[in-house]
């Protein structure tokens, strides 16, 4: 009888143990560099979506996982989440940045090829994990959101959708025509990537992290709606946010741009990464909004 109940208990625990066993800290050789990332595999051995989440300037993959709490969605939906690390002068886990053309700091100044890193990372994960190649998604915050724009333009044929958070554009992005579903989230009271555009302010990576000012946050929806061939839109306002939704885009694509009312330079619905950082609103859950958007879009491999 004891053996019977032990068997039942182990059967109940095995799925949980399998999920925990697939959380790994890995590196990937990119040129002469060893690039670092965390992978949390909740696929249970079945082909599933891959969500890549890029930390902000001065952060890390570990910080991004903690700050967003996106793994709660990944566990529920049996996803694979990956938290790559940017580059830094001091070490592989402090004051890290991404080279999003005009920002930020070390990665920008050293011209680190982060597009190449993300491209090779996607290839590697498709080859080694149960990743559905038509359901690869990219999101990031602040400098990571800027990198999401940069990689979305460069790797649009590899991605099913992107979601830049609390970021903006610079104005010299190439005019292109392709389709890529894009969800944009900004904070109405952001004092670092300010809604009206301008110099980046008060980031942990120094007083001048970028080499030019950002455009207003509305530039993101304007750029991506043009890329996707959208023209008509609807505006929606609630107590928590305002939303512009473009739905007449080519090939079933869409562009959604949220401005969250009570949110500064923070991941809405996430946690405060340090005491000096902005407190995220609890009236808007970026994780749920992003995943609801992502799961509606599958890459059109014929592009």
Does residue 129 lie within any of the structural domains? yes
Q: Which domain holds residue 99?
A: 2-294
Residue 119 · residue 158 · CB < 8 Å? yes
State the sign of the Cα–Cα–Cα–Cα dihedral 203, 156, 171, 88: positive
Does residue 124 lie within any of the structural domains? yes
Does residue 72 lie within any of the structural domains? yes
Could you give the percent of the chain with pLDDT greater than 90? 79
Indicate yes or no: pTM above 0.75: yes
Does residue 301 lie within any of the structural domains? no
Does residue 302 lie within any of the structural domains? no
- Mean pLDDT over 85-111 rounds to 90
pLDDT tens digits for 46-67?
999 999 999 999 999 999 999 9
CATH code (residue 163): 3.40.50.1820
Which runs of E-coded beta strand occur in the chain? 23-30, 33-41, 48-54, 80-84, 131-141, 161-165, 182-187, 233-237, 241-246, 255-260
Does residue 179 lie within any of the structural domains? yes
Tokens 């993300």: give the residue: 118
pLDDT of residue 91: 65
Give, for 156, the enclosing helix (H) or strand (E): none
pLDDT of residue 206: 67
Q: What is the count of structural domains for the chain?
A: 1
Does residue 22 lie within any of the structural domains? yes
Does residue 168 lie within any of the structural domains? yes
């Amino acid at each position: 009888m004891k053996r019977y109940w032990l068997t039942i208990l182990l059967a109940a625990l095995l799925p949980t143990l399998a999920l925990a066993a697939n959380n790994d800290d890995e590196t990937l050789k990119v040129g002469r560099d060893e690039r670092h990332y965390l992978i949390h595999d909740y696929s249970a051995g079945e082909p599933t979506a891959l969500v890549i989440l890029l930390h902000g300037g001065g952060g890390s993959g570990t910080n991004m996982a903690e700050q967003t709490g996106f793994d709660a969605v990944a566990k529920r939906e049996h996803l694979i989440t990956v938290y790559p690390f940017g580059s830094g002068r001091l070490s592989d886990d402090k004051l890290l940045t991404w080279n999003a053309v005009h920002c930020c700091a070390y990665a920008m100044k050293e011209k680190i090829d982060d597009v190449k890193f993300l491209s090779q990372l996607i290839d590697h994960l498709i080859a080694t994990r149960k990743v559905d190649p038509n359901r690869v998604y990219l999101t990031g915050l602040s400098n990571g959101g800027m990198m999401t724009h940069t990689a979305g333009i460069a790797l649009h044929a590899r991605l099913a959708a992107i979601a830049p958070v609390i970021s903006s554009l610079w104005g010299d992005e190439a005019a292109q025509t392709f389709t890529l579903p894009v969800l944009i989230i900004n904070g109405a009271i952001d004092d670092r990537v300010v809604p009206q555009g301008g110099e980046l302010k008060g980031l942990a990576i120094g007083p001048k992290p970028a080499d030019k000012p950002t455009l207003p946050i509305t530039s993101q929806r304007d750029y991506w709606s043009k890329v996707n061939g959208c023209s008509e839109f609807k505006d929606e306002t609630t107590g928590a946010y305002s939303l512009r939704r473009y739905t007449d885009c080519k090939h079933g694509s869409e562009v959604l741009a949220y401005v969250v009312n009570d949110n500064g330079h923070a991941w809405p619905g996430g946690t405060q990464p340090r005491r000096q950082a902005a407190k995220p609103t609890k009236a808007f859950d970026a994780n749920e909004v992003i995943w609801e958007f992502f799961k509606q879009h599958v890459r059109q491999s014929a592009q």
